[in-house]
Amino acid sequence: MNHGKKIKVAVIIGTRPEAIKLCPVIFGLREKSQQFNLIVIVTGQHREMLDQILKEFEVEPQYNLDVMEKNQSLARLTEKVIPALDNILLKENPDILLVQGDTTTSLVAGLVAFYHKIMIGHVEAGLRTYNKYFPFPEEINRKLISGFTDINFAPTQSAADNLTREGIPQDKVFITGNTVIDALFYVLGNYKSKWTEFQNCENRQILITAHRRENFGMPLKNICQALVKLIRKYDDIEITYPVHKNPNVQKVIYEYLSDVERVNLIEPVNYFEFVSLMNESYLILTDSGGIQEEAPSLGKPVLVLRDETERPEAIAAGTVKLVGTDTDVIVKETSILLENEEVYSEMANAINPYGDGKASGRIAEIILSNFKG
């Protein structure tokens, strides 16, 4: 119990998506600086992309483990994070450690915190596909994290229901909304895009991201072939693809798409610019999880290049549709949205199930309530 002292909260971040979703939580804790002592730890699981996000949101970490290596295996990443984080938690002894989502950083951090008997709060808890290899390794990471989490911040009722069905007590599960919507609204309210390509082009813009491990190899080749077919089929579309820095992605993308007219292969852009790209696009094709949550708030239909999703709420709401990685299916489903205005409008105008942009404030209040007494 707190007994009037400030609550020491450690927030750990490893990847770009984690940073996007945890920076608003950091803002929420900063607003209550009289009640919280805040420590930000980054592992550097994604180095350049992570640093970029932290700079944009003006978040300065107290610790940087800098563990990234080229083509690093999950086992090697785990091996490096455990002892480095063990020393930090031994030194700082926070009251609670916040992890986010489903990354290796979150899994390992939660495990080390458990070893130290430190309370663990899991932001974006409860997402499930119930297929351990889709997404890989994220599905199992999430389930393992739930096993040692003390406070579960579920983004939706569906996610909360998953946790209680797995035996987690209801008084440890809180529905907050998703913090990515907080981040999205922050960007829309504080940033004017410098991106001019979309605004100055009459073509309908298709934004694509594809970089998940389960899509390495043939699935990614199928996606590229679908994009080529779409370009040949429609002369009024243009495709913009920020290409992930992973060499497994870059090799395939540049081999198939580098010389295709009206396909713009660009370096990964900062998050603020990516929000602008989403906002200016006509529709989005992605294997990302976060975009399934963000794009509906912008009124953009999303076709998900995966066979399963841990975000069924978006499918139920009609804001996204699973299309997998079969070339012909991708072409067919994209063509429907390009040709059928009624279907497009139904997806574009569906209500986003992921919240109102106030999740971070709720998380701060829930932490406070758990330390009262």
Per-residue model confidence (pLDDT) at position 119: 98
Q: What CA–CA distance (Å, rounded) separates 31 from 40?
A: 15
Q: What's residue 117's pLDDT?
A: 97
122 has catalytic annotation:
no
* C-alpha span between 214 and 238 (Å, rounded): 26
Which of 213, 307, 326, 365 does the annotation list as catalytic? 213
- Of these residues, 95, 102, 293, 310, which one is catalytic? 102
Residue 216 has pLDDT above 70, yes or no: yes
pLDDT at 234: 97
pLDDT band at 67 (very low <50, low <70, confident <90, very high): confident
Residue 60 pLDDT more than 90?
yes
Give tens-digit pLDDT for 145-170: 999 999 999 999 999 999 999 999 99
The per-residue pLDDT for 193 is 65
Q: Looking at residue 214, what is its pLDDT?
A: 82
- The answer, yes or no, to whether residue 373 has pLDDT greater than 60, is no
Please report the pLDDT score of residue 92 as a whole number: 97
Compute how many other C-beta atoms are within 10 angstroms of the C-beta atom of residue 176.
Answer: 26
Q: What is the three-class DSSP state of 172?
A: helix
Predicted confidence (pLDDT) at residue 196 exceeds the cutoff of 70: no
Task: For residue 242, give both structure tokens.
Answer: 């920020």
Between CA 304 and CA 292 the distance in angstroms is 8
Q: What pLDDT is attached to residue 293?
A: 86
| Domains annotated on the chain, with CATH | 7-178+356-370 (3.40.50.2000), 204-348 (3.40.50.2000)
Tell me the average pLDDT across 84-106.
96
Q: Is 213 annotated in the active site?
A: yes
Pick 257 or 193 by higher pLDDT.
Answer: 257
pLDDT of residue 372: 78
**pLDDT of 178 strictly over 70:** yes
Identity of the amino acid at 63: Y
Please tell me which residue in 46, 47, 244, 311 is annotated as part of the active site: 244
Looking at residues 69-79, what average pLDDT do you find? 81
Continuous H helices in the chain: 16-30, 47-56, 74-92, 104-115, 138-148, 157-165, 179-190, 218-233, 247-257, 271-280, 290-294, 312-317, 327-339, 341-348, 359-370
Q: In this structure, are residues 249 and 210 in contact, taking their beta carbons and an 8 Å threshold?
A: yes
pLDDT of 199 over the 60 cut: no
What are the φ/ψ torsions at residue 230 (nearest 5 degrees)?
-65, -40
Q: What is the pLDDT of residue 200?
A: 55
Question: What was the pLDDT predicted at 44?
Answer: 75
CA distance 269 to 277: 9
Closest CA to 249 of 276, 277, 221, 226: 221
Q: Looking at residue 213, what is its pLDDT?
A: 79
Does the pLDDT at position 361 exceed 70? yes
The pLDDT of 108-121, averaged and rounded, is 97
Q: Which of 138, 182, 214, 293 is catalytic?
A: 138
- Tell me which of 364 and 135 has the higher pLDDT: 364
Q: Is 138 a catalytic residue?
A: yes
pLDDT confidence of residue 197: 53
Instruction: Return mean pLDDT, the chain.
Output: 91
Residue 102 is a catalytic residue: yes
323 to 105, 270, 313, 332, 357: CA distances (angstroms): 29, 27, 16, 9, 28
Q: Tell me whether residue 211 is one of the annotated catalytic residues.
A: yes
The pLDDT value given to residue 122: 98
109 in Cβ contact with 15 (< 8 Å): no
Catalytic member of 95, 124, 182, 214: 124
pLDDT of residue 282: 95
Q: Which of 47, 128, 211, 262 does the annotation list as catalytic?
A: 211
Amino acid code (one letter) for 337: L
In the predicted structure, residue 229 carries a pLDDT above the cut 80: yes
161 catalytic, yes or no?
A: no
Q: Are residues 309 and 129 in contact, defined by beta-carbon separation less than 8 angstroms?
A: yes
Structure tokens at 297: 């708030």
Report the share of the chain in percent with pLDDT over 90: 67
Phi, psi (deg, nearest 5) at residue 323: -125, -10
Mean pLDDT throughout 209-238?
92
Instruction: Find the mean pLDDT for residues 268-277.
Output: 88
Which range, 66-80, 146-160, 277-291, is most confident? 146-160
201 has a pLDDT exceeding 80: no
Q: In which band, very low, low, confident or very high, does the pLDDT at 93 lie, cut at 50, 70 and 90?
A: very high
pLDDT of residue 57: 92
What average pLDDT does range 14-41 have in this prediction?
95
